[in-house]
Amino acid sequence: MSTRLLNCAILLFAITRVLPAQSGGSDHEMQGMAHMSGHMYMTTLRPKQPGDQAKADAIATAAKAAMAPYEDYRKALADGYRIFLPNIPQPMYHFTKAANGIAAWSHFDPLKPTSLLYRKTPDGGYKLIGVMYTARVDATEDEINSRIPLSIARWHQHINFCKAPAGKKAAYFGPNARFGLLGSIHTQEACDAAGGVFLPHVFGWMVHVYPYESDPSKVWSVDDHDGHDNMDHSAMPGMKMD
What total number of domains does the chain contain?
A: 1
Q: What percent of the chain has pLDDT over 70?
A: 76
* pTM: predicted TM-score of the whole model, two decimal places: 0.76
Q: What is the pLDDT of residue 36?
A: 54
In tens, the pLDDT along 161-219 reads 899 999 888 888 788 889 988 889 999 999 999 999 998 887 789 999 999 998 988 99
Q: Is the pLDDT of residue 22 over 80?
A: no
- Greater model confidence, 89 or 8: 89
Domain for residue 132, yes or no?
yes
Assigned domain for 170 exists: no
Residue 93: exposed, middle, or buried by beta-carbon count in 10 A (0-12, 13-18, 19+)?
A: buried
Asked if residue 199 belongs to a domain, the reply is no
| Domain-located, residue 191 | no
Closest by CA to 15, choosing from 215, 193, 178, 241, is 241
pLDDT (tens digit, 9 = 90+) per residue, 95-110? 999 999 999 999 999 9
Do the domain assignments include residue 212? yes
Computed over every residue of the chain, the mean pLDDT equals 80
Q: Is residue 187 part of a domain?
A: no
Please give the residue range of the domain that contains residue 128. 3-40+49-154+206-238
Q: Assess if residue 193 is contained within a domain.
A: no
| Percent of the chain clearing pLDDT 90 (strictly above) | 55
> What is the DSSP pairing of strand 82-83 with strand 205-209?
unpaired
